[in-house]
Structure 1
């Protein structure tokens, strides 16, 4: 049975056998399909033999990130929850909502959906697992006005007989670390074990806030209760009242408890997430449970579709930009964080200690701070003396620009690298200083290549020799008629002729260089005149 979607570079298929074993098959996608919209497996999860170790695929993630400007802000909607509760199905509806078009017959966007099989996250009805690992949609949603980009992430289902509690915690943890809008997909109601999963991050939250962070480390958490059974019949025509019921339900779930450990769990969750919400979707209809169901909206319950419409609007109108320790993350920085977080689980599905988790975050943040600082320097120097510049900059002026941009670069680094091990931050700052000096040497070399006096000796010295020979010959012919003088005159004539021919040949073969040389001479004269004016002033 085929259970996974294809990746951008290869099709990764999990085949589950009757004896319970699983085999992963990989095959190349046709070239024409590589750029087609589809889900990409950015993190695969091993088997029991490998301790369910996470394997990060940086080249696949980079292929997605490369489609958008590197400085754009990142928004990530990730769906996590128990297996076979409709996570991929939900994400597929998200895609239909994002790509919706207006209808000439005034149909709702969901009424235009004839099927939900092509151009969506792979899903299927039934009881078998369908998604393994962590998947990302390969076509980001770009908002040019806001200069942000939205990524959709699907995760392997949890709480089944094949997934240990450690692996469940790791999947949930990785998804939470990546997302700015975490959808926690639960069945029928929010249970105590759902809350305990969230409490895993409480120690990290406390550690992070001790490290000068003023707010909870994670942003949006939304419980999406599937097959919601708490609506009254009279509410079915009033979606606003239904949403009020959802809020009341959440307040009831997280209200104070008399039992100490239950109350601690709730306090930990509130300290971990900045915003916690709840939404309920009723059962979509019995047609959805049949294996032949292909996503036809006409076969689904009208109330489910109405609630789904409201929910999609609710989510995508409120997705915040991803922030870590109060700093908004760019596309480039997001890639570095993904790599750092996946590395925490590379040796097996063991949830990392809070200090380890914070250290990985701080290390990635320091790396991003160094990259940002280098961009500040190189962008400024590129405008002054970069590869595309044509004007020569006097050395003193270039040195002054270097010092100015170096200070701005260091300031940018210090503003961003504001948490984590102080010694590691200092070491990164020292490396940055060294790289800035090395980079300045490159700009000096580029600028020297545009020096208007550079290479003039190739033409000036032979020219002076030819001129001297010509003048001396003229003087000899005018003042001396002796045989020796005539021989000297002929020798000077030959010298003048040879040098002149040499200059003509060089000029013919290097016309463009000569043209540039004359331009440099003009610049040199201008530089000298400016220098004289400055001295007079």
Structure 2
């Protein structure tokens, strides 16, 4: 199998702080085969020792075999890819992505999409602190287009409570920017589903269970005194995610669970589990179902690999100093991400306009005319910044919007100095060319005059 897991966020063994391996991140997301393609990021998150990496390897296999009907391959072959095991010790620390992005042709858009698969360490369990859990889960939700929330047996109230920070942030963000949900798709994947007689395994049964859990089927809360907080959480989740889904998975089979030599080969698994793996994985990765990662800066456009690199760098920088992942800090971070992205777009607007008047024919212009053009294009760039920045209308709440706007204006002035130098250089070249032409003309006239004088001299009687 080509490719391997690459650690992009690691935990320092001494300080216990999470650190970004930017070189590793760039090595995957800035590969030539990613380029400017839109990206789809599918991540799996959830508690320690619940089979996240095991599940992801089926996604790897689907992509490697390009989603062919027999994508599971030889049923006697061990399951390879992200490191996994059946023991008590966790295998994933930090965040990993697959080293080779997969290119899939998205039928609905007619474009190639770079698919990134992400594995995360256990969260919201006895092995991981609440701070670390929230840190990892937040980065997972914010960078992925689809997050698979891996749960065991059922969707419990604690599982929803773990999402409280994100639902609070998402609900407030929707009110502030009034355009889109804070997060994209969240799939509750219930492993070892405990009640198949009541609700059958699969997507249809999962949707019924999810509606019950979210209180959309008319059930009353068991404890009326908690109904307000209970309902606020559920309403916040609905406001925070573009799409909420649920899939109920059967047990892998008790043979594999008790076999110390179990290595994930399909013929060791319960036939019912294999049946649902065949149904679940295409729901996430089939060409007609790919969910593109939404750009944080360019409204209505998909994100690129380069944007994801900038986003993750910003996230890590914001929380590097030990800040807690709270609704307010998440909002501040997203305002910074959007502002930086809008700034890049605005700079491109300015530079493209200035290049169009200075570089095509290499001619200079009067300094006053250049200044006039500069001021006009600067206004256009600032207008583009405010138009593209989803937080521009909330600048009173987010000072970073104004700070980045000031930074943009300073950068434009610095770029103008460069364009002034280019214009001066063009003017000097024009003057030198004119001087050469004058000299050449003078020489030509002198030579012609001398020739005429000679003719006159020799013809004189």
TM-score of the aligned structures, taking structure 2 as reference length: 0.81
> Residue 365 of structure 2 is aligned with which of 395, 415, 423?
395
Quote the Cα distance in structure 1 between the aligned partners of 2:163 and 2:42.
17
Quote the Cα distance in structure 1 between the aligned partners of 2:302 and 2:432.
45
The SS at the match of 1:342 is helix
Task: Give the CA deviation at 1:412.
Answer: 2.3
Partner of residue 84, structure 2: 123
> Residue 135 of structure 1 is aligned with which of 86, 96, 104?
96
| Contact residue 221 and residue 277 of structure 1 kept, 8 A | yes
The SS at the match of 2:325 is coil
Task: Give the CA deviation at 1:244.
Answer: 2.6
The SS at the match of 1:121 is coil
Alpha carbons of structure 1 residues 345 and 245: separation in structure 2 relative to 1, 3 Å: same
Partner of residue 269, structure 1: 237
Quote the Cα distance in structure 2 between the aligned partners of 1:98 and 1:148.
12
Task: Give the CA deviation at 1:197.
Answer: 0.4
Quote the Cα distance in structure 1 between the aligned partners of 2:390 and 2:208.
39
Quote the Cα distance in structure 2 between the aligned partners of 1:298 and 1:233.
28
1:115-164 CA-to-partner distances (Å, cap 9, x unmatched) read 3454x212222221110001111222335633543221110013444312
Partner of residue 38, structure 1: 4
> Residue 439 of structure 1 is aligned with which of 415, 424, 436?
415
Alpha carbons of structure 1 residues 291 and 380: separation in structure 2 relative to 1, 3 Å: farther
Alpha carbons of structure 1 residues 301 and 401: separation in structure 2 relative to 1, 3 Å: farther
Task: Give the CA deviation at 1:211.
Answer: 1.9
- Does 2:182 align with 1:211? no
| Contact residue 321 and residue 328 of structure 1 kept, 8 A | no
Partner of residue 299, structure 1: 268
Q: Which has the larger radius of gyration?
A: 1
1:398-455 CA-to-partner distances (Å, cap 9, x unmatched) read 7787666545433321112231545543343343334334434544655654966543
Task: Give the CA deviation at 1:96.
Answer: 0.9
> Residue 249 of structure 1 is aligned with which of 209, 218, 224?
209
> Residue 127 of structure 2 is aligned with which of 131, 144, 162?
162
1:99-123 CA-to-partner distances (Å, cap 9, x unmatched) read 22587xxx632243543454x2122
Alignment of 1:451-466 (within 5 A): 454-458=432-436, 460-461=438-439, 464=442
| Contact residue 125 and residue 288 of structure 1 kept, 8 A | no
Alpha carbons of structure 1 residues 474 and 426: separation in structure 2 relative to 1, 3 Å: same
Alpha carbons of structure 1 residues 346 and 435: separation in structure 2 relative to 1, 3 Å: closer
Alpha carbons of structure 1 residues 113 and 303: separation in structure 2 relative to 1, 3 Å: same
Quote the Cα distance in structure 2 between the aligned partners of 1:461 and 1:124.
83
Alignment of 1:503-514 (within 5 A): none
More relative contact order, 1 or 2 (CA 8 Å, 6+ apart): 2
Alignment of 1:361-440 (within 5 A): 361-382=334-355, 385-386=358-359, 389=360, 391-393=361-363, 395=365, 405-419=377-391, 421-422=395-396, 423-440=399-416
Partner of residue 345, structure 1: 319
Quote the Cα distance in structure 1 between the aligned partners of 2:254 and 2:45.
23
Return 5+ residue gaps in structure 2 as ranges.
none
Quote the Cα distance in structure 1 between the aligned partners of 2:261 and 2:64.
25
Partner of residue 88, structure 1: 53
Quote the Cα distance in structure 2 between the aligned partners of 1:92 and 1:202.
29
Quote the Cα distance in structure 2 between the aligned partners of 1:251 and 1:466.
92
| More off after superposition, 89-98 vs 405-414 | 405-414
| Contact residue 45 and residue 149 of structure 2 kept, 8 A | yes
Quote the Cα distance in structure 2 between the aligned partners of 1:464 and 1:346.
70
1:162-212 CA-to-partner distances (Å, cap 9, x unmatched) read 312222222222211222211100111112211110112233124323423
Alpha carbons of structure 1 residues 114 and 398: separation in structure 2 relative to 1, 3 Å: farther
- Does 2:105 align with 1:153? no
| Contact residue 47 and residue 123 of structure 2 kept, 8 A | yes
Partner of residue 29, structure 2: 65
Partner of residue 192, structure 1: 157
Quote the Cα distance in structure 2 between the aligned partners of 1:81 and 1:295.
20
The SS at the match of 2:149 is strand
Alpha carbons of structure 1 residues 213 and 116: separation in structure 2 relative to 1, 3 Å: farther
Partner of residue 318, structure 1: 289
TM-score of the aligned structures, taking structure 1 as reference length: 0.70
1:289-343 CA-to-partner distances (Å, cap 9, x unmatched) read 3343232112212211111111112122434323349654522322222112223
Alpha carbons of structure 1 residues 454 and 37: separation in structure 2 relative to 1, 3 Å: farther
1:201-224 CA-to-partner distances (Å, cap 9, x unmatched) read 233124323423344312211110
Quote the Cα distance in structure 1 between the aligned partners of 2:141 and 2:408.
31
**Paired residue total:** 431
| Contact residue 165 and residue 327 of structure 2 kept, 8 A | no
> Residue 112 of structure 1 is aligned with which of 74, 88, 99?
74
| Contact residue 134 and residue 325 of structure 2 kept, 8 A | no
Quote the Cα distance in structure 2 between the aligned partners of 1:307 and 1:153.
21
| Contact residue 363 and residue 426 of structure 2 kept, 8 A | no
